[in-house]
Amino acid sequence: MSEDHILRVTDLRIAYGRVQVLHGVSFDVPAGALVAIVGPNGAGKSSTLSAIAGGVAAAGDVRFDGRPILGLKPEAIARSGLSFVPEGRHVFASLSVEENLRIGTFMRGDRPRAERDLQLVLNYFPKLKERIRQAGGKLSGGEQQMLVIGRALMTQPKLMLIDEPSLGLAPRIVEEVYAILHRLRSQEGVSILVNEQSSRRVMNFVDEIIVLRDGRVQLKGRPSDLAKSHALHDAYFGTGTFDRDSGEAVH
């Protein structure tokens, strides 16, 4: 049912040298959904996103929009409509905000469309509009995060992968960023997959949570369902026992 799922990850395995970091991870991202992968440090969250975006060699099967993409080059994957926002706010420090945003449109010829997308992104991120001529390196942390998300948006992605958008941001800014992501999903129909350390920050905004620990999917489900039981807590910290399929805690 590739029509309902923008992304299907099946049995994804990654090893750095002899160290296996992902032991067969499988999950789907429904089209038009905002999904969060949550897990502690070293769970394999970043590796998972990098592998999907083509930055890390991996085994298994990844289908984006029904097409297998594992093994393609990062820039080819980006051009097919999957945009990756790596961790750590990678702005182009010497380019202006506007130039940062326009980079994503250079590879396609459609100019009027690019202008419209620029206006659209600036509508979503009014703070960027105020700083349109400033160098990307001179922005605050929150603004830089918005800039990289806005830049990813300029490539007209069907799916955005965002690695730890809340890292190093004040709680109020995190709320702001997630509110915008939520609106992008509802109003533009962009599917979004984020990584986060803390499930608490994303609970109110996402459609689905996937708990990853020790390179395995421990649990997945809707935040409202997960909130009811202790399963989320158990899955995250590895305490207690639970049923992996249903997410129900087993005592």
Partner 1 sequence: MQAQGQVSTSIVSNGRGPIWGQVQTPMVLVIMLGLIALISSYFGGSAQTVTEMMIRVVLVVGLYVFVGNSGILSFGHISFMSIGAYAFVWLSCCTLPMLKPMNLRGLPEFLQHIALPSPIGLLGAAVLAGAVAIVVGAILMRLSGTAASIATFAFLAGQYAFYMNWSGVTGGTALLANLPVFVGPAVGTGLAALAILIAWLHQESRFGFMLRAARDDQTAAKGSGVNVWFVRTVAFSLSGLIVGVGGAMHAGFLGIVTVDAFYLPLTFLTLAMLIVGGSRSLSGAVIGVVALTAVTEILRQFESGIPVGNSVLSLPAGLQEVGLGLAIILVMMFRPAGIMGGHELTFGSIWPKR
Q: How far apart are CA 23 and CA 204, in angstroms?
A: 29
Structure tokens at 4: 């309902």
Instruction: Calculate the alpha carbon distances from 248 to 40, 54, 120, 231, 243 in Å.
Output: 21, 34, 42, 6, 5
Q: How far apart are CA 139 and CA 30, in angstroms?
A: 34
Which residues are near partner 1 by CB under 8 A?
Answer: 53, 55, 74-75, 78-79, 83-86, 90-95, 98-100, 102-104, 106-107, 115-120, 122-123, 129, 132-133, 136, 148, 151-153, 155-156, 187-190
Q: How far is the CB of 110 from partner 1 (least distance, A)?
A: 12
Q: How far is the CB of 226 from partner 1 (least distance, A)?
A: 31
Q: How far is the CB of 93 from partner 1 (least distance, A)?
A: 5
Cβ neighbours of 73 (radius 10 Å): 10
Residue among 101, 98, 91, 89 nearest 137 (CA): 91
Give the pairing type, strands 216-221 and 191-196: unpaired
* Residue number, 117 or 234, with CB nearest to partner 1: 117
Question: Where on the phi/psi map is residue 216: left (φ > 0), alpha (ψ -120 to 50), or beta?
Answer: beta
Instruction: Calculate the alpha carbon distances from 131 to 76, 79, 109, 137, 140 in Å.
Output: 31, 27, 26, 12, 11
* Residue number, 129 or 233, with CB nearest to partner 1: 129
* Residue number, 102 or 244, with CB nearest to partner 1: 102
Q: How far is the CB of 106 from partner 1 (least distance, A)?
A: 4
* Residue number, 99 or 225, with CB nearest to partner 1: 99
Q: How far is the CB of 132 from partner 1 (least distance, A)?
A: 5
Q: Which helix (H) or strand (E) holds 85?
A: strand 82-85
* Residue number, 53 or 181, with CB nearest to partner 1: 53
Q: How far is the CB of 228 from partner 1 (least distance, A)?
A: 36
* Residue number, 23 or 158, with CB nearest to partner 1: 158
* Residue number, 79 or 244, with CB nearest to partner 1: 79
Q: How far is the CB of 120 from partner 1 (least distance, A)?
A: 5
Q: How far apart are CA 207 and CA 245, in angstroms?
A: 18
